[in-house]
């Protein structure tokens, strides 16, 4: 930092040479060199022309001037000080020769730089201080003794006032210039705020100097000693005045600090809702401020940019949580909701009444250079400079940060993406400068972190307190999300977003809580009415290319319940066929019984219900008002449609499962009906994909012996254990079913011969293990027949018949071997025994 004071009034200290070199540009170096050179010329000229009429008086004046150099005060706003030794400079102009005055002023300036300074000044500062003082004294002395000034030359008082004014202007302007160049502030701002107030003291000093000069003529120069108390009085006046200024400055700084901390706390609240991090806020702020300085943004505009970098997304408080945290691409309806956040943010910040223009930056930070942005479609220079800077910086850091919908890019890759949007989304000049400096800005962000603390999320209050009674609106709940997007009430927008998130969460829970289609849709329709007002609701289910009512409620529900609608006809039929929503359709376009009720219904909102297996049905809302539904309503219904579709699909599957009973009660394996359905689907898939499929028919050998010897309960246990072993031996995508009795069927996609051989051998070991586990002896084996699609059959019946035939062939071979090996025992037992 700079602390400035040329001799009697100002001095420069507290900066080491390295800091000075880093803080000054080329212009500052040239400026200081010129001032030091001019001062040196003045001092040399004074030394050459040295003369003194009274060395004793000179010595006393010098001692008093050196003492006055200690009486200095710090100036507010800049790193500079001011002393009261200008009194002796003015007295020197009146009483002494120019070389003597130069000695007084420059010696006092030199001492002022060292006496009471916190750090020793470097040589460059010393040269500037002394040179500036020499120049100021020379100009003031020349003004006072200028004999060709017309009538001014004959008026002592006017010449003295002119000399004091010139000394003040030269001294303060020289210092203001160096402060401007080294601290990047304007000369006018520095001079008016820090120095102009001291001008009356110079005039008072001139009057004191004139009075002392007059007394000296009548009494002697010793009367000059009386100026010391006056000098101290001036010094104390300085101290008191500047003390008050310092107190006011500290108060302003405290308020500014409080203001900034409030902004940061608010930014953290936005951060917590948007799932970003305080690192993002820190980098955007550093990048935006530094890039603003590159384009000459300063003062209040720079403060506005600093605040906007933190608060530009405050309007997201009015955007529902499920949209902000959505892991995929936003739908057009969701994006419409997202686009309100600049307007809501601007309205919130207008209430704050910032002393600098934050609101225009926040309102327009999503405008694009080519006019394709929002909310107003501004283009080019119509967009405020701060908003153009913020949009480029925010995009760069967002690309380099992790988001729920994509991983982070490297900073270099993110910069390439931003550069590719130059001239379309972003100001080309800003992108060009950002591309040159973004690595420097990143280093600044890493080395100078903004102290933003993350919000604590794991707080817990241990004190036991009964829960307070909440507000249960029930049927009278205020409708959330029913706005048209035209309202500017940001409080309503934020409350609506919160309530929408809560109701969506409750609906999601209710939709997954029951497999009954009627119960699921009944709860859903009641909850939905809190968000979207309607007079009638119809949820059509697709069955055999026809839409039939799955659930109907509201006015004319009897008429809706009787309708069947082919695909492509009516509103619901068109929506199901095209998989596109309709907003504020005409119910008169419906068919059949619905058309009869169209006289009372003016608007329809319909969305397709798309499940795992395709379109499951259509959800349609009807209202008796014209254009009753908004884009917000469509967005909410689209967000719910997939959940409703899955619930409908699951309920239908459950109902189908109940009616067909496709599971074997004993083994929990699919039964014969389920097997044929599955095999038909798999063969259709194989036909489409030109794939193969193997079917294994397995029959237990010795099962009758188990039933005869151990009883049917043990036989059932054998079937259960064998079923589990078959399932565990197969792959995840293989299918195991029980045909009946002791016969099992295994369907193996792929059907490679080596896999089949391994499976068959594994099944034989499992049969033996099952007998040992249940009966305690080797009493079971298994015969397996195989058939492969398409070589052995083109449909389910052919494949199963061929596999069954081969299985019985294997079984016959097995019996023949046993009769050959144990003819008498087998004749006695009437069955087989497997070893």
State the residue for tokens 């004191």: 208
Assess whether pLDDT exceeds 70 at residue 554.
Answer: yes
Q: Quick one: how far is CA 418 from the chain centroid? A: 17
**817 near 823, Cβ under 8 Å?**
no
Q: What is the predicted pLDDT for the residue at 196?
A: 72
What digits encode the pLDDT tens for the residues 13-52?
Answer: 333 334 344 444 577 788 888 888 888 888 888 888 887 7
Which of the pair, 626 or 528, is modelled with greater confidence? 626
Above 70 in pLDDT, residue 212? yes
Every domain of the chain with CATH number 1.10.3210.10 lies at 275-447
pLDDT for 564:
80
Specify the CATH number of the domain 17-248: 1.10.1760.20
pLDDT at residue 80 in the model? 58
Closest-CA residue to 572 (of 612, 613, 507, 621): 621
Predicted confidence at residue 227, as pLDDT, reads 64
Q: Which has more confidence, 71 or 544?
A: 544
User: Cis omega before residue 790 (within 30°)?
Assistant: yes
Q: How many Å apart are CA 580 and CA 638, to the nearest integer?
A: 10
Mean of per-residue pLDDT scores for the chain: 76
Q: What is the mean pLDDT of residues 651-665?
A: 69
Asked if residue 664 has pLDDT above 90, the reply is no
β-strands 614-623, 536-543: how paired?
A: antiparallel
Residue 87: which of 198, 204, 194 has the closest Cα? 204
Do 32 and 130 contact (CB within 8 A), yes or no? no
Question: Long-range contacts of range 413-418, CB-CB < 8 Å, 24 or more positions apart?
Answer: 418/392
% residues pLDDT > 90 (the chain) = 12
Q: Which two tokens stand for residue 337?
A: 């909701």
For the chain, state the CA radius of gyration. 47
Q: In the chain, what's the furthest Cα-to-Cα distance?
A: 163
| Average pLDDT of the segment spanning 320-341 | 78
Q: Which residues of 516-553 are buried (b: 16+ CB within 10 A; e: fewer)?
A: ebeebbebbbebbbbbbebbbbbbbbbeeeebebbbbb
DSSP annotation string for 250-313: HHHHHHHHHHHHHHHHHHHHHHHHHT--HHHHHHHHHHHHHHHHHTT--HHHHHHHHHHHHHTT
Q: What number of other Cβ atoms are within 10 A of residue 723's Cβ?
A: 20
480 has a pLDDT exceeding 50:
no
| 743-749 and 565-566 strand pairing | unpaired
Give start-end residues of each CATH 1.10.1760.20 domain in the chain: 17-248
CATH architecture designation of domain 512-658: 2-Layer Sandwich (3.30)
Share of the chain above pLDDT 70, in %: 71
How far, in Å, CA of 721 to CA of 713, rounded? 12
Q: What is the pLDDT of residue 463?
A: 40
Compute φ and ψ for 319, nearest 5 degrees: -100, 130
Q: What is the pLDDT of residue 420?
A: 92
Query: 60: which residues sit within 8 A by CB, 6+ positions away?
Result: 221, 224, 225
What digits encode the pLDDT tens for the residues 452-470?
444 444 444 444 433 333 3
Q: Beta 81-83 vs 536-543: how paired, if at all?
A: unpaired
What average pLDDT does range 70-79 have in this prediction?
A: 60
Higher per-residue pLDDT: 665 or 820 = 665
DSSP character at residue 263? H
Q: What is the mean pLDDT of residues 587-591?
A: 70
The string of DSSP letters for 380-419 reads: GGGS-HHHHHHHHHHHHHHHTS-BTTBPPPPHHHHHHHHH
Q: Which of 267-271, 615-619, 637-641, 743-747 has the lowest mean pLDDT?
A: 267-271
Torsion angles phi and psi, residue 185, rounded to 5: -125, 155
What is the CATH code of the structural domain delimited by 672-829?
A: 3.30.70.270
Q: Which one has a higher pLDDT value, 339 or 190?
A: 339
Q: Which fold has domain 275-447?
A: Hypothetical protein af1432 (1.10.3210)
Query: 102-153 pLDDT, tens per residue?
Result: 888 888 777 777 666 666 667 777 788 888 888 888 888 888 887 665 555 5
Plot region of 583 (φ>0 → left; ψ -120 to 50 → alpha; else → beta): beta
Task: Note if the bond before 375 is cis, omega within 30 degrees.
Answer: yes
Three-state DSSP class for residue 699: strand
Which of 157-171, 212-226, 722-736, 753-767 is the least confident region?
212-226
Question: What is the structure's pLDDT at 461?
Answer: 40
Each residue's pLDDT tens digit, 357-376: 889 999 999 999 999 998 88
What pLDDT, in 10s, does the model give residues 691-732? 889 999 999 998 988 998 999 899 999 999 999 999 999 988
Q: Which two tokens stand for residue 83?
A: 């002393």
Tokens of 788: 């492969």
Distance from C-alpha of 407 to C-alpha of 402, rounded to nearest angstrom: 5
For 190-206, the pLDDT digits (tens) are 777 777 767 777 787 78
- HEC-encoded secondary structure of 79-126: CCEEECCHHHHHHHHHHCCHHHHHHHHHHHHHHHHHCCCCCCCCHHHH
Decide if pLDDT at 567 tops 70.
yes
Residue 382 confidence class, pLDDT cut points 50, 70, 90: very high
Q: Could you give the C-alpha distances from 55 to 100, 110, 218, 281, in angstroms and in order?
A: 10, 21, 20, 67
Report how far residue 722's alpha carbon sits from residue 725's, in angstroms, rounded to the nearest whole number.
5
CB–CB of 89/160 below 8 Å?
no
Q: DSSP letter for 467, please.
A: P
Q: Where in the chain is the domain with CATH 3.30.70.270?
A: 672-829
- Band (440; pLDDT cuts 50, 70, 90): confident
- Which tops the pLDDT comparison, 275 or 790? 790
The tens digit of pLDDT for each residue in 240-273 reads 766 676 677 677 667 766 766 676 666 666 655 5
């Amino acid at each position: 930092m700079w602390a400035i004071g040329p001799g009697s009034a100002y001095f420069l200290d507290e900066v080491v040479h390295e800091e000075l070199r880093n803080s000054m540009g080329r212009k500052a170096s040239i400026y200081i060199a010129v001032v030091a050179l001019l001062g040196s010329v003045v001092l040399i000229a004074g030394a050459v022309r040295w003369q003194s009429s009274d060395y004793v008086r000179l010595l006393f004046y010098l001692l008093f001037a050196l003492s006055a150099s200690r009486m200095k005060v710090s100036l507010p706003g800049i790193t500079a000080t001011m002393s009261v030794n200008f009194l002796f400079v003015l007295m020197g102009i009146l009483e002494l020769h120019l070389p003597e005055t130069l000695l007084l002023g420059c010696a006092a300036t030199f001492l002022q730089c060292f006496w009471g300074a916190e750090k020793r000044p470097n040589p460059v500062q010393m040269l500037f201080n002394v040179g500036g003082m020499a120049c100021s004294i020379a100009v003031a002395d020349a003004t006072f003794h200028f004999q060709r000034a017309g009538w001014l030359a004959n008026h002592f008082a006017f010449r003295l006032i002119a000399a004091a004014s010139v000394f003040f202007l030269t001294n303060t302007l020289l210092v203001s210039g160096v402060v401007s160049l080294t601290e990047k502030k304007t000369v006018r701002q520095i001079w008016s705020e820090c120095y102009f107030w001291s001008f009356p003291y110079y005039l008072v000093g001139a009057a004191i100097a004139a009075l002392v000069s007059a007394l000296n003529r009548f009494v002697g120069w010793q009367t000059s000693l009386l100026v010391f108390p006056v000098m101290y009085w001036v010094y104390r006046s300085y101290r008191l005045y500047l003390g008050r200024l310092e107190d006011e400055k500290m108060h302003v700084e405290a308020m500014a600090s409080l203001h900034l901390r409030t902004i940061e706390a608010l930014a953290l609240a936005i951060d917590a809702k948007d799932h970003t991090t305080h690192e993002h806020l820190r980098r955007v702020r550093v990048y935006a401020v530094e890039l603003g300085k590159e384009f000459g943004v300063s003062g209040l505009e720079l403060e506005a940019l600093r605040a906007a970098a933190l608060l530009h997304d405050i309007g997201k408080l009015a955007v529902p949580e499920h949209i902000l945290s959505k892991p995929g691409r936003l739908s057009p309806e969701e994006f419409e909701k997202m686009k309100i956040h600049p307007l809501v943010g601007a309205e919130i910040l207008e209430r704050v009444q910032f002393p600098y223009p934050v609101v225009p930056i926040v309102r327009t930070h999503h405008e694009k250079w080519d006019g394709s942005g929002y909310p107003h479609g501004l283009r080019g220079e119509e967009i405020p400079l701060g908003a153009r800077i913020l949009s480029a910086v925010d995009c760069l850091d967002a690309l380099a940060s992790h988001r729920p919908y994509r991983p982070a890019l490297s900073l270099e890759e993110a910069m390439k993406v931003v550069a590719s949007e130059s001239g379309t989304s972003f100001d080309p000049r800003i992108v060009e400068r950002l591309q040159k400096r973004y690595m420097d800005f990143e280093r600044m962000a890493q080395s100078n972190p903004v102290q933003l603390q993350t919000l604590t999320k794991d707080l817990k209050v241990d004190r036991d307190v009964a829960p307070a009674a909440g507000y249960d609106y029930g049927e009278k709940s205020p409708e959330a999300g029913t706005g048209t997007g035209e309202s500017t009430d940001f409080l309503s927008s934020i409350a609506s977003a919160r309530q929408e998130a809560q109701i969506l969460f409750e609906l999601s829970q209710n939709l997954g809580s029951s497999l009954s289609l009627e119960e699921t849709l009944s709860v859903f329709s009641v909850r939905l009415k809190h968000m979207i007002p309607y007079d009638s609701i119809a949820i059509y289910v697709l069955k055999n290319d026809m839409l039939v009512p799955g659930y109907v409620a509201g006015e004319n529900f009897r008429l809706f319940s009787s309708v069947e609608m082919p695909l492509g006809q009516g509103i619901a039929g068109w929506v199901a066929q095209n998989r596109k929503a309709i907003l504020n359709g005409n119910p008169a376009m419906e068919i059949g019984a619905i058309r009869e009720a169209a006289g009372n219904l003016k608007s329809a909102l319909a969305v397709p219900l798309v499940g795992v297996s395709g379109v499951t049905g259509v959800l349609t809302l009807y209202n008796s008002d014209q254009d009753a539904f908004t884009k917000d309503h469509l967005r909410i219904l689209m967000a719910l449609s997939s959940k409703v579709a899955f619930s409908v699909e699951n309920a239908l599957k459950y109902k189908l499962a109940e009616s067909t009973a496709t599971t074997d009660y004993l083994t929990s394996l699919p039964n014969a009906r389920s097997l044929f359905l599955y095999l038909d689907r798999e063969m259709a898939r194989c036909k489409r994909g030109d794939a193969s499929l193997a079917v294994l028919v397995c029959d237990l050998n010795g099962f009758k012996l188990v039933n005869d010897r151990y009883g049917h309960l043990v036989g059932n246990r054998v079937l259960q254990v064998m079923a589990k072993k078959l399932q565990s031996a197969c792959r995840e995508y293989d299918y195991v079913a029980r045909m009946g009795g002791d016969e099992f069927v295994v369907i193996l996609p792929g059907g490679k011969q080596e896999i089949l051989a391994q499976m068959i051998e594994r099944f034989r070991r499992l049969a033996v293990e099952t007998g040992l586990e249940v009966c305690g002896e080797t009493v079971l084996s298994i015969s397996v027949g195989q058939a492969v699609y398409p070589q052995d059959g083109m449909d389910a019946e052919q494949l199963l018949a061929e596999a069954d035939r081969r299985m019985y062939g294997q079984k016959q071979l097995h019996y023949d071997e046993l009769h050959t090996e144990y003819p008498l025992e087998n004749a006695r037992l009437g069955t087989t025994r497997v070893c």
